[in-house]
Amino acid sequence: MFHSLLSKLDKQFKFDQVSAHCDIPCKIYDPAVAQISALTIIRLLDLIQELNDKDELTLADQAQLARLVAQKEEHATKVKEEIRIIWGDYYKQPQFDQLPDAHELTHSIMLQASKCKQHIDRAMGVTLLELVNKFAKGFWLTKGVATFTATSPYPPAETVVYPKLG
Amino acid sequence: MFRVFKVTGDSMVPTLRDKDFVITSRWFLKPKVGQLVAVEHPEYQTIVKRISQINEVDQLLLQGDNPKSVSSTRMGWITKDQVLGRVLFCVKQS
């Protein structure tokens, strides 16, 4: 009765709406962003190494170094965020049943991405990419999508797990 | 004082369903975990959610009752100023 009264009042006065919408965007999750960020970190580490090989850094080189380091930080944060969202929002009990090591793997990625922020060792970036690839493989398993590995067709030309779509 | 809102969406099912009404007020706003609140969110606009956590600086973490709700992570911490009111009554369709 009270509801029908409010409905009539709503037609007359238009109450403000309060949204209880579900996930936006609906169910769109993909580890590709994390993989590209991990590749980018390796590329940035390579470029930092190129500067390291120089005898002396010009002011322009120093500015370039600052930019490369800032980008490395940003992409390591992006890896963490993308993986965390898939793990925290998409993965639920059915996915955890399929991927018993999901928690440990996610935590390893968080730690390794932090190491990539702290260091300029290329091997750190490669390890991060390997972990993210493993995560991607598990993600596509939960979607029932087969995967394959291929070398990324751009620098740093490292091995990436791709979904077999179509 | 009091504000009436019409609910749209199903993220608060089973507590609230699409086209239910909620009566809110800021008068009784001493946030507690478990309370329903209407919030002006910077990304999701005016939303109704349940308080799931309150931190030491009085920021609130929200969640929907429906597992399909926008996650707490995506909504992030919100301040008390963003709360339009605490839900005092839910008026459901019979």
Domains plus CATH for chain B? 2-91 (2.10.109.10)
As assigned by CATH, the class of the A29-163 domain is mainly alpha
Q: Is A164 on the interface with B (CB under 8 A)?
A: no
pLDDT tens column, A58-104? 999 999 999 999 999 999 999 999 999 899 888 988 899 999 999 99
B93 to chain A: which residues are within 8 Å by CB? Answer: 3
Distance CA A141, CA A83 (A): 16
d(CA A23, nearest CA chain B) in Å: 4
Which runs of E-coded beta strand occur in chain B?
2-8, 21-25, 36-41, 45-54, 60-63, 83-91
Reported in sequence order, the residue ranges of chain A that DSSP labels E, i.e. its strands, are 16-19, 147-151, 159-163
Prior bond of B67 cis (ω within 30°): no
Q: What is the pLDDT of residue A47?
A: 97
**pLDDT higher than threshold 60 for residue A108:** yes
Give B7-37 pLDDT, tens digit per residue. 988 888 889 988 999 999 988 678 899 999 9
Q: How close does chain B come to A30, measured CA to CA in Å?
A: 16
Give the residue among A47, A33, A83, A31 at the shortest CA–CA distance from A156. Answer: A47
Cα R_g (chain B), whole angstroms: 12
The pTM (predicted TM-score) of the whole model is 0.59
